[in-house]
Copies of this chain bind each other. A is one copy, B any other.
Amino acid sequence: MSTFRAVNPHTAEEFGPEIEGATSAQVSEIIEAAHAPLLSPKDRSSLLSNIATAIEADRAAIVDIAMQESGLPEARLNGELTRTVFQINTFAKLVGTGTHLDVKIDKADPNYGMGPRPDIRKQNQPLGTVAIFAASNFPLAFSTAGGDSASALAAGCAVVLKAHPSHPNTTRAVYASIQKGIASSGQPKELFSIIEGNDPHITHWLATHPKITAIGFTGSGGVGKLLMELSAKREVPIPVFAEMGAINPVFVTSSAISERGEGLAKGSVDSALMGSGQFCTKPGLFILPSSSSATFLSEVEKYLATLSVGPLLNKGIADRYSSAISALSKKNDLKVFSGNTAATGIAVAPTFFVADWKVVSSTPELLEEHFGPTTVFAIADEKDFVAIASTLEGQLTATIQGTETDSVKPLFSVLSERAGRVIWNAFPTGVSVTAAMQHGGPWPSSSSHTTSVGTDAMYRFMRPVAYQGLSQENLPEALQDSNPWSVPQEING
């Protein structure tokens, strides 16, 4: 059993209690104990609200420890806590209505078009106990009580969370709040459990345990693919919902540069550096029109030279960043723009790369996601934008910065085939939690066509079950004619 302690990115020093990594036996024990009672929509809604309320009540303490462990600024973490609470409450509102059960009732019909039809009723049911892997880069909104956990609890599943070792005490604080919410709802504490540790075996133990029915993951492509392989080898394979990142291309038209070049250049830099460049929606590739890239790039270069970023989240990210940057900086055909190393602790300098699209397209490392304050500016003939777009891999997002005079429909059409979210005249960083949000795109950005943000995220953790010919008293509540839960029922289409 290995132990570890938290690290403060501002000082690179360890602090806080020694944390014991879970053993294989402990992981099993936690999973075996996990269970989620069946609740009415009203009770499930109030469980979620109580969890949200408990997290909000502990805001100051949670934000304080998260600042120490992530190095992120207070305003950002307060915003993230607001988002965390908001998304739990959004699920609470949805499940309170019972809409998520998607009840369809087709009553018996002796004169049905394809032959007599029996009474058939269908609802969504929770998968059981799911494993959620916390992300490092959103220590609140994509971690312990983040979108994946909230959507799984909303679906009616028990959650076993693999805590991210980058913020163990933040995890403990949020876990304590969640347990307050669970206790005040009269529910069992085994509805939500955490597994701590930095031993890579934990991932295997979790993913291969027979009682785990699905996996929610946000992180690197490497670990995402490992989880998929582990699932495929199980006696009973399970769905792996992995959000594995992207380079989120941004196409900039010459008319956009003419109209608002300076602001656009600064906005591009700011978006690439947001969260020290550790967002899964970071624009990692800008495609600039050769006709007007020179002035745009000189704005980027000037502005970047004045900037530094906060420390990276952990030493592992910083090491991978530095080695990628160092390898790329040695290439002859890349221009390099640099910012400053201002932060103490786990500090790095922002480093951007500029090259012709021909060079970029033949340098695979430039088309890969790199966590940290770096991005790529590729210069291309504007009339080749559609052709370039059609060579790109699957993306979480794809953006066009243009003006009303641009004919961008063909480019949007190609991008919508390659991304989960296409964006006009904004930057991809910042993901709103709404019914219409789609966070998840074609491979390799995600492992499935689902979303991990927004209310539709919960449908990942349920499956439809049909009931044929059951008497009213044997039917689940949501499917009964008397509709004791008052859920929406689609009857006979």
Contact = CB atoms under 8 A, between A and B. Distances in A.
A149 B375 CA distance: 43
Interface in A397-453: 404, 408-409, 412, 416-417, 419-426, 432-438, 442-444, 447-449, 451
Interface string A220-243: 000000001100100011110000
A200 to B, nearest CB: 21
Contacts of A447: 237
Nearest to A237: B443
A470 B412 contact: yes
A86 B104 contact: no
This chain's copy number in the assembly: 2
Contacts of A433: 114
A117 interface: yes
A122 B412 contact: no
B474 A412 contact: yes
A465 interface: yes
Interface in A342-369: none
A493 B455 CA distance: 10
Contact of A435 (B424, B435, B443, B493): B493
Contact of A117 (B112, B232, B434, B468): B434
Interface string A91-133: 0000000000000111000001111011011100101100000
A73 interface: no
Given A121-B436, A236-B394, A465 B424 contact: no
A469 interface: yes
Contact of A232 (B228, B425, B474): B228
Contacts of A425: 469
Contacts of A209: none
B432 A117 contact: yes
A4 interface: no
B464 A424 contact: no
A155 to B, nearest CB: 12
Nearest to A397: B468
A437 B104 CA distance: 9
Q: Nearest 9 pairs between A and B by C-beta?
A: A449-B463, A438-B466, A86-B114, A104-B436, A106-B434, A421-B466, A122-B436, A106-B436, A120-B436
Given A89-B113, A424-B474, 6 more contacts: A106-B434, A106-B435, A106-B437, A120-B434, A236-B394, A422-B465
